[in-house]
Structure 1
Amino acid sequence: MTIARRFATMLFAASLVATVAGCASTSTKEGTGEYVDDAVITAKVKASIFNEPTLKSTEINVETFKGAVQLSGFVAQPQDAVKAGELARGVKGVMTVKNDVRVK
């Protein structure tokens, strides 16, 4: 019985290590916690843009990877592109902003 118990314990430990390693992040892949954090940041940036009456939120795309926000899309005025970048920088958790918003 002790051999079976040891084997079961070792199998459990090995599967636990494999599960934890599978959730770890790399330079090109987010971990589970980072993915959730980035989803929250994306939602907050989109909400900030939506709440700005001078911007059309449907024409600005927001993507986040490890705290780095990338804005893309089109706006009518150059100052609207600047405003979108400022709003994104003002969101808690944003590390950097790459503003690829273009003027139509």
Structure 2
Amino acid sequence: MKITLATTCFVIGALFAPVVAHAGDSDSDRKHAATYVKDSVITAKVKAKLAEEKLSSLAKIQVDTDNKGAVDLSGTVRSQEEADKAVSIARGTEGVTSINSHLRIKKDD
């Protein structure tokens, strides 16, 4: 009897695990696979353009795109000029509708 109850609880818990995982998914605003792919393409384009600049700090910038084409830039750069360049590169990328810059300038100690 105890084994049956334990097995039943385990099976029910295993069935609810994907539901709980999906509820915690930060990309849950993306209702369709095509939207997610489009957002990923924008993110990849911005990252590629940043990497082309051959500045190591620009290559380390994190890029995320939401379902409306808004790009979030975060991380650290060496100067305000590099931060401005990253924003300019992202702004010039096809599909980007707006930029949210959370870039910080790294102080040399």
Fold in common (TM above 0.5): yes
SS of the residue corresponding to residue 56 of structure 1 reads helix
- Equivalent pairs counted in the alignment come to 77
How many angstroms apart in 1 are the aligned matches of 2:92 and 2:56?
Answer: 16
What residue ranges of structure 2 are gaps of 5+ in the alignment? 1-27
How many angstroms apart in 2 are the aligned matches of 1:101 and 1:55?
Answer: 15
**Aligned-pair distance for 1:90?**
0.6
Q: CA RMSD in A?
A: 1.3
The amino acid that maps onto 2:47 is: K
Q: Which residue of 1 aligns with 2:8?
A: none
TM-score, with normalisation over the residues of structure 2? Answer: 0.66
TM-score, with normalisation over the residues of structure 1? Answer: 0.69
Deviation >3 Å, runs of 4+: none
**Aligned-pair distance for 1:33?**
1.1
Q: Which residue of 1 aligns with 2:73?
A: 71
Identity %: 42
What residue ranges of structure 1 are gaps of 5+ in the alignment? 1-27
Q: Which residue of 1 aligns with 2:98?
A: 96
How many angstroms apart in 2 are the aligned matches of 1:71 and 1:97?
Answer: 7
**Aligned-pair distance for 1:57?**
3.7
